Structure 1
Amino acid sequence: MRKAAEGSIRIGAWVAALLFVWGLVLPAMAQTPRERLNIDKDWRFAYGHADEAQRDFGYGLRPFFFAKAGYGDGPANPEFSDVSWRKVDLPHDWAVELPFDQRGNANHGSKAIGHPFPENSVGWYRKTLTIPASDKGRRISLEFDGVYRNSVVWINGHYLGTEPSGYSGFRYDITDYVNFGGENLIAVRADATVEEGWYYEGAGIYRHVWLTKTDPLHVAQWGTFVRSTVEGSNARLDIDLTVQNAFKTAQGFAIRHEVVDARGQVVAETTQADRSLNAVSEGVFAANLTLGAAHLWSLEDPYLYTLRTSLLRDGQVVDRYDTRFGVRTVTFDPDKGFFLNGKAVKLQGTNNHQDHAGVGVALPDGLQTWRLKQLKSFGVNAYRASHHPPTPELLDEADRLGMLVIDEHRMMGTSPEITHQLERLIRRDRNHPSVILWSVGNEEWALEWKDIGTHLALEMQDFVKRLDPTRRTTVATSGSGKGTSVGADVIGFNYGAQHDVDGFHAQHPEKPAIMTEEGSTLTTRGIYFDDPARVHLNAYDRQGRPGSSLSIEEGWNRVMARPWMSGMFVWTGFDYRGETTPFGWPAISSQFGMVDTTGVLKDTAYYLKSVWTDQPMVHILPHWNWAGHEGQPIDVRVYSNGDAVELFLNGKSLGRQPMPRYSHLKWRVPYAPGILTARAYQKGRQVAVQNVSTTAAPAAVVARPYKTALKADGSDISVVWVQVSDKKGRPVPTADNRIDFEVSGPFRLIGMGNGDPGSHEVDRPAERHRYVSLSNWRSLAIDDLTDTSRPVAETADTANWRDPSQWLPPEAQPPLTKGLVLRGEFARPAINTGEQAVLFVGQLAPDQHLYVNGQAVTAQTVDGAQVIRLDASQLKDRNSLSYVMTMPAGGVQALYDQSVGGSRWGSLRVTTPAAPWQRRLFNGWAQVIVQSTGEPGRGHLRLVSSGLTATTVDFQAE
């Protein structure tokens, strides 16, 4: 008893301590002035239809649909049932899940989307949110970072707005429509029928979605602008703060700014008292402070500060807003090029779209990081977001990693819609130290040689300067001398072969210049002889489009020969779906990249590494597996940043050659199996070596994960390289084995690829649902619930039954009976082998009984839904679903009013199961991407290939 008492005392003390802690924590939590919640998880998704409203879940057919508030129809109606829809997490790109089709636009990767495919071109998303009653009095906003394309958003059946662009972030204040203390239904319809670009753009909610909660007095979205001026070892910070007052009365407040360094220490602060705003208004409040011993942001040391802004009302913090920024100087000099912090820097850049093998444009944040690191691995220091605003997380990572960015607007123009999109881009991104230049247009062919091009370029430049006077603007042009090039602040040349760059510089000596695009080389990773039948092109650097573009080597030499040229952006960093030059179908991706669609470095990337990095390196191309070519001369090239390279075959020297600056070395080597060795020297000392070996047959699967410890957050990823090796453990560069992937534990596979521009294998296996609506609903009022065999019988004549959709005035409503039979029909759907048909039914009454074709059936509860699994062989040309139940309160009319046109009474779903997770190697490589599901624990990725030793990768979610 004594021990029990002591235990009780200890437990009581522990509980008391816990309650004390919670007594401190809960008030602090309750006082959180601003919440920004990621709401990417647990959405429902289904394909709609671009041409037929009935196949678009009846969207837009409801009377008063756009005439009255709250009349959202189809999935925009809160009463609509989406239990049969697929569950997805965002970001999500439904286009990457579609098959390749010759009818698809080759520029968009020949995916089965667009005008020929209305059944694939509309996607619906729905999500239910519970917003607590305690939030009443706050402002609630939905923020979308990007939806492709032409999105329409509804909340609780109320229309919020339409955003036509697939790239601009947008925000809706939903406060007035929120059901505080209850559920709130978000519905989003995206229509990707029309394209914005000439490259793969994906489809759907492919960027993050946020729910933001603030006090009515708050910092506006993107409401801070921090400008730094370096003054010796210090920096002056000029801060513009936009504050919004949503109260219906004037408000007084104070503003506190604190600068926090990377260690979390406050290193500068200022407070402004006695500020005020009138009712329902906003204002801009300026402040400045001095940052002592400022730590500059640079490529080598990307140091970041945080401006913590607090709004105080009656001494209490009502809003807190953090802004990350860096202190640095940026100069584009027309004679000397680009300078960062007063230091001359050649921009070693690549152009990139947001597209990656397996996941399309729906890149997890971790994949953004991985891709930037791949670019940095061969010396890239600058990134051009081509040709649209980048996702915010890419800029966050560029800030952290030290990568310069040209931030690009989508289209030139000064109309309200275009300028509003440009304004959102500038306000969102102007605090990023990585952003060095705003691009307001790219190859606007209708403007480049016309006066209107000059005028629009100047007008857009002035517009940008009003929003951000700290950065210059550029226009990337394919033709210079008139039009947009003359109006550009910094001229962007696309391809030196298309311009007289020296002539333009002589005529416009005041204008800084940059090669915004160069190269357009066409190479297939691991291919060294052209094979047009397989849409493969050899990987040797050369002019991809003679007369229009230069080789990578020629382009860089031309830039280095011109001190006034700020740098070069190669077209492109990564291969991407679409723009299949010089092939059409069956090619499905570009071949311009320095790396393939999976991020594997091509040989041209190693050339750039040799001239863009100082770490000693040497690289040989091609591989040395040439069975059947014995004795034939092979074109062997070597890249190195050494000053000389010696080549050996099976230990015998083939000669040492001095390395020409910004160039390569070349040998003609008669093929003999064995080992090809390159040794690089610097001042006579060996600094790097590479061996290329003739390998034997594949023997084992090899996996190289980027990392094996993932955050258990449901979004962290690991990229896994997949190869096969021979018995000696050497990777086989020509292997094309099929690899099967299997994952276990709290992990999932989200995409795979192999970089083959002609592969039509599945990128991202996903089950596909198609729906058949039940129709011809009829109801029969009955007094006897014990004998219903005739009304539910397959042969029942329903011609004189009531049409429940027909509205009757109250005085014409028939008297209520004890029971009701409700009957609908559906046609036999086409069901292929392996597909499954499921009937989703509603819970219309507690005592309901269900019949299919007159046979009693019992619904099963699956994932919260009532379902009846159908045997395809038992279905007829016409089939019936019947409910027998007690008469609901309010009768048939009330039952129909809650049914969303009868859609809640029943729908038929036919499911095509997902294809297996498997991929062939292409020239020895493939890739699979593993993502955590959100739960902690251990798991495994198993990789199997017929006839080879399998391998397993262990993962841990923490």
Structure 2
Amino acid sequence: MVCRCRYIQECESYSKKRALYPSDGIFVTTPQVGNRSMVNVVCEVKNAGTGVKGVTVKHEVVYDGKTIASVSDDFVALKGDFNEFTASVELENCHLWSLETPSMYELHTTLIASDGYVMDKKTTKFGIRDIKFDADEGFLLNGKSVKIKGVNIHHDLGCMGVAAYDDALLRRLLKLRSIGCNAIRTAHNPHSESLLEMCDSLGLLVMNEFIDEWKVAKKKWITERAKEDAPDSISIGYTRYFDTHAEHDLKSFIRRDRNHPCVILWSIGNEIEWTYPYYWASSKDNKGFKGLIHTGDPETDNKSILKEFNRLSGGKDDLAETAAVLAGWVKDVDTTRPVSSGVVVPSVSRLSGYTDVLDVVGYNYKDKYYEIDHKLYPYQPIIGSENVGQLFEWTAVADKKYIAGIFVWTGFDYLGENGPWPARGGDCSFFDFVGNKTARGHFFECLWKDTPKTHIVTIPEKESEFKMDTDGSFTYTPRPGWIRRWEWYDTRDKWKYRRDEDILVQVYTNAPEVELFLNGKSLGTKKRSDFMEHNILMWKVAYKEGTLLAVGKDGDRILSKDTLSTSGKPCRLALNCDRKTATDNGYDLIHVEVSIEDKEGNTVVDIPSDVRIILDDKLELAGLDNGSPSIEDLNINVINNSVRTYNGKCLFVLRTIRGKKGTSFVKVVGDGGIQGRCKILISHPISH
């Protein structure tokens, strides 16, 4: 978990006379933030040589390539000694790190021997910013209130697996930011340092999480799905290492990431109550795993809960004790950020002492508890640490200053936690496996961004949970089943049905009203204020071939438009590459998004095609996918380098080959001979 930098390895390999510092031994904090800011530096130095050494530690603060301040200190280091040195420097005309302007500074640290020999160097990036979680004001960044619009992400990258490819990570973060997301929760383990570096540069906040289970294995997915207790051999993860490794791993994790300004919270766990049955049994909230635990009304009979908890636990609660130890280990390393955890049974955890050790209490799927617990525990900040991607989760926090915000489950579809065959992962996100924006993603973009937006989706009325009443209003009857809470409404990205079939046209928008047209004829204007329960404007339309046009308006002022047209026969394959240039370093990625189009440029979603990619010797195929949540829809042929489209689309991930430069020509071929082409200019990186 700890990253050792090259300086240590080089020093230890060829010199016995050098002093050096651990790669994570420099800690930069900004206790005073403003136009004039104070920067504090703690630097750990070890004498790895054979005798007494006189050494100078020099720190230089660099912004935009220019040194703007410096400070140095002399010391004498005995053999094998670890020395900790602190330094402070005051900066003026500071560029603060914020969501809008994520300014980054560099600290250049140099160890110099008494004879002037440079023994070691280290560059540490940092940002100047102030964070605060307040029980009444929510989250404040540099003194300004910020509502956290966050998502949970797993560390996989779809068809690229769990390796942390920088280009793939950046593509995902940019897509999330494009819909108004401003925060990431690293569910449920430390992610790559590259992710944090990107969040630093993009102005994304991070709830940085340590682990998903402590001393007791969860087993919840295997046990619940198999209807029997899962054997330890396939169900125990980190549990077996907790007692011997947890302190080292947690502190190493904190030390690695503590200089990243994007990190605003340390999370020590997630839904740990799953592993302690007496937590669930102590609360009437407990209705079993099938999701009902998240839908019941808040339980407020604290006296009865505590009495039952003490009886079932025997007066000893290992969970709360372990939480206190973990929180203490965090504070041993970093006191500048609050400690949190994703709590899932707050009615019990609030009484057991578990939440007493948390600076900020994270609530998983407990929107109904926010208001009540704010009154019962007015001194403690709260945040939605895991929330379903539904309107009610956002309305529960949007107008309540005391709630810092939410983290929706999830930003991208991910591998694992899938249902029975042929499901291959969670289908509950803003973007699918390949990065196509889902209907849910379009919906939340309307909630989270001020930029005017209108988006059309459709569904046959007979297949919809919405039905039009005789008075023109709509009735909503959700599908049965516990998983429905995480699912989105059934929708289609098409306008192609049987003639005169009753179709529900649904429009997502942040405009006050929308006028809908079919083939130029107005079907009426509807106000968003009349559809606040779901925030979806709806029309029942008898299908006719042509074009739907939705116009978002504020009175006579047009704010945004969206169209959806009947598609014809497949005519070509349209390619969209996320980059036109790359370097021949052997790890640059190019994401090639492929869409089937008719002659008018409409996406053909209802006629799937097996698409094959043809490459020259400058690029290789690293992955292919179509975004479907079902394995049966993939139809991948790794021998033929082909994949079947899903909703008219698929993705090819290409990788450069070391030493192969020049113009690379990419060709894709689909059923019936439809084709598409693009070219990528590959150059050799310039050495500095």
Same fold by TM (over 0.5)?
yes
The residue type equivalent to 1:919 in the other structure is V
**Cα–Cα, structure 1 residues 315 and 721, in superposed 2: closer, same or farther, change >3 Å?**
same
**Cα–Cα, structure 1 residues 214 and 915, in superposed 2: closer, same or farther, change >3 Å?**
farther
1:730: how far off? Answer: 1.7
Q: 1:728 aligns with which of 591, 596, 600?
A: 600
Q: 2:508 aligns with which of 613, 616, 639?
A: 639
Contact map agreement 1:237 1:291 (CA 8 A) in 2: yes
1:674: how far off? Answer: 1.0
Question: Cα deviations across residues 673-697 of structure 1 (Å, max 9, x unaligned)?
Answer: 1111110113531121111001001
1:215: how far off? Answer: 7.4
1:729: how far off? Answer: 2.1
Deviates more, 1:659-668 or 1:432-441: 659-668
Q: 2:381 aligns with which of 512, 516, 521?
A: 512
Alignment correspondent of 1:228: 30
Q: How does 1:668-687 map to 2 (within 5 A)?
A: 668-687=540-559
The residue type equivalent to 2:682 in the other structure is A
Residue 275 of structure 2 is aligned to residue 446 of structure 1: yes
**Cα–Cα, structure 1 residues 684 and 599, in superposed 2: closer, same or farther, change >3 Å?**
same
Aligned counterparts of 1:323 and 1:749: Cα–Cα separation in 2 = 35
Sequence identity (%): 31
Question: Cα deviations across residues 118-176 of structure 1 (Å, max 9, x unaligned)?
Answer: xxxxxxxxxxxxxxxxxxxx9537xxxxxxxxxxxxxxxxxxxxxxxxxxxxxxx985x
Alignment correspondent of 1:650: 519
Alignment correspondent of 2:682: 957
Q: How does 1:760-775 map to 2 (within 5 A)?
A: 760=632
Residue 258 of structure 2 is aligned to residue 427 of structure 1: no
TM-score by length of 2: 0.80
Aligned counterparts of 1:264 and 1:503: Cα–Cα separation in 2 = 51
Residue 301 of structure 2 is aligned to residue 301 of structure 1: no
Alignment correspondent of 1:60: none
Contact map agreement 1:480 1:486 (CA 8 A) in 2: no
1:486: how far off? Answer: 4.2
Question: Cα deviations across residues 86-105 of structure 1 (Å, max 9, x unaligned)?
Answer: xxxxxxxxxxxxxxxxxxxx
Alignment correspondent of 1:927: 651
1:764: how far off? Answer: 8.8
Aligned counterparts of 1:574 and 1:459: Cα–Cα separation in 2 = 33
Aligned counterparts of 2:37 and 2:429: Cα–Cα separation in 1 = 40
**Cα–Cα, structure 1 residues 683 and 310, in superposed 2: closer, same or farther, change >3 Å?**
farther
**Cα–Cα, structure 1 residues 256 and 642, in superposed 2: closer, same or farther, change >3 Å?**
same
3-state SS of 2:643 partner: strand
Aligned counterparts of 2:110 and 2:137: Cα–Cα separation in 1 = 42
Aligned counterparts of 1:737 and 1:567: Cα–Cα separation in 2 = 42
Alignment correspondent of 1:366: 167
Alignment correspondent of 1:489: 359
Q: How does 1:344-355 map to 2 (within 5 A)?
A: 344-355=145-156
1:938: how far off? Answer: 1.5
1:561: how far off? Answer: 3.6
1:316: how far off? Answer: 2.1
- Stretches of structure 2 lacking an aligned partner (at least 5 in a row): 216-241, 280-312, 459-491, 684-688
Alignment correspondent of 1:598: 434
Contact map agreement 1:659 1:665 (CA 8 A) in 2: yes
3-state SS of 1:744 partner: coil
Alignment correspondent of 1:242: 44
Q: How does 1:155-554 map to 2 (within 5 A)?
A: 175=13, 216-261=18-63, 263-273=64-74, 275-313=75-113, 314-410=115-211, 411-412=213-214, 415-444=243-272, 445-447=274-276, 449=279, 451-483=317-349, 484-496=354-366, 500-519=369-388, 552-554=390-392
**Cα–Cα, structure 1 residues 736 and 486, in superposed 2: closer, same or farther, change >3 Å?**
farther
Alignment correspondent of 1:585: 421
Contact map agreement 2:8 2:23 (CA 8 A) in 1: no
Question: Cα deviations across residues 164-194 of structure 1 (Å, max 9, x unaligned)?
Answer: xxxxxxxxx985xxxx8xxxxxxxxxxxxxx
3-state SS of 2:140 partner: strand
Question: Cα deviations across residues 292-337 of structure 1 (Å, max 9, x unaligned)?
Answer: 1111001110100000000000222211100000001111111111
Contact map agreement 2:511 2:554 (CA 8 A) in 1: yes
Question: Cα deviations across residues 405-425 of structure 1 (Å, max 9, x unaligned)?
Answer: 011001446734011110111
**Cα–Cα, structure 1 residues 452 and 503, in superposed 2: closer, same or farther, change >3 Å?**
farther
**Cα–Cα, structure 1 residues 380 and 367, in superposed 2: closer, same or farther, change >3 Å?**
same
Aligned counterparts of 1:940 and 1:394: Cα–Cα separation in 2 = 31
**Cα–Cα, structure 1 residues 595 and 283, in superposed 2: closer, same or farther, change >3 Å?**
same
Question: Cα deviations across residues 450-504 of structure 1 (Å, max 9, x unaligned)?
Answer: 633222222222221121110001010111033333432211110026x523222
3-state SS of 1:220 partner: coil
Aligned counterparts of 2:343 and 2:424: Cα–Cα separation in 1 = 27
3-state SS of 1:604 partner: helix
Question: Cα deviations across residues 334-376 of structure 1 (Å, max 9, x unaligned)?
Answer: 1111111111111000000011222111231111111100101
3-state SS of 1:584 partner: coil
Q: How does 1:810-829 map to 2 (within 5 A)?
A: none
Aligned counterparts of 1:637 and 1:244: Cα–Cα separation in 2 = 65
Contact map agreement 1:338 1:346 (CA 8 A) in 2: yes
**Cα–Cα, structure 1 residues 477 and 351, in superposed 2: closer, same or farther, change >3 Å?**
same
**Cα–Cα, structure 1 residues 624 and 509, in superposed 2: closer, same or farther, change >3 Å?**
closer
Contact map agreement 1:245 1:251 (CA 8 A) in 2: yes
**Cα–Cα, structure 1 residues 689 and 365, in superposed 2: closer, same or farther, change >3 Å?**
same
Contact map agreement 2:622 2:654 (CA 8 A) in 1: yes
Contact map agreement 2:187 2:209 (CA 8 A) in 1: yes
1:630: how far off? Answer: 2.4
Alignment correspondent of 1:695: 567
Aligned counterparts of 2:453 and 2:34: Cα–Cα separation in 1 = 38
Contact map agreement 2:267 2:339 (CA 8 A) in 1: yes
Contact map agreement 2:16 2:49 (CA 8 A) in 1: no
Residue 627 of structure 2 is aligned to residue 718 of structure 1: no
- Stretches of structure 1 lacking an aligned partner (at least 5 in a row): 1-34, 38-137, 142-172, 181-212, 520-550, 766-913
Contact map agreement 1:618 1:690 (CA 8 A) in 2: yes
Residue 402 of structure 2 is aligned to residue 569 of structure 1: no
Contact map agreement 1:357 1:752 (CA 8 A) in 2: no
The residue type equivalent to 1:575 in the other structure is D
Alignment correspondent of 2:220: none
TM-score by length of 1: 0.58
Alignment correspondent of 1:29: none
Contact map agreement 2:164 2:192 (CA 8 A) in 1: no
Give the superposed CA RMSD: 2.3
Question: Cα deviations across residues 871-905 of structure 1 (Å, max 9, x unaligned)?
Answer: xxxxxxxxxxxxxxxxxxxxxxxxxxxxxxxxxxx
Deviates more, 1:726-735 or 1:935-944: 726-735
Residue 557 of structure 2 is aligned to residue 557 of structure 1: no
Contact map agreement 2:495 2:567 (CA 8 A) in 1: no
Kindly name which structure, 1 or 2, has the bigger radius of gyration based on alpha carbons.
Answer: 1
Alignment correspondent of 2:232: none
Contact map agreement 1:621 1:637 (CA 8 A) in 2: yes
Aligned counterparts of 1:375 and 1:459: Cα–Cα separation in 2 = 35
1:731: how far off? Answer: 1.5
Contact map agreement 1:244 1:283 (CA 8 A) in 2: yes
1:553: how far off? Answer: 0.8
3-state SS of 2:253 partner: helix
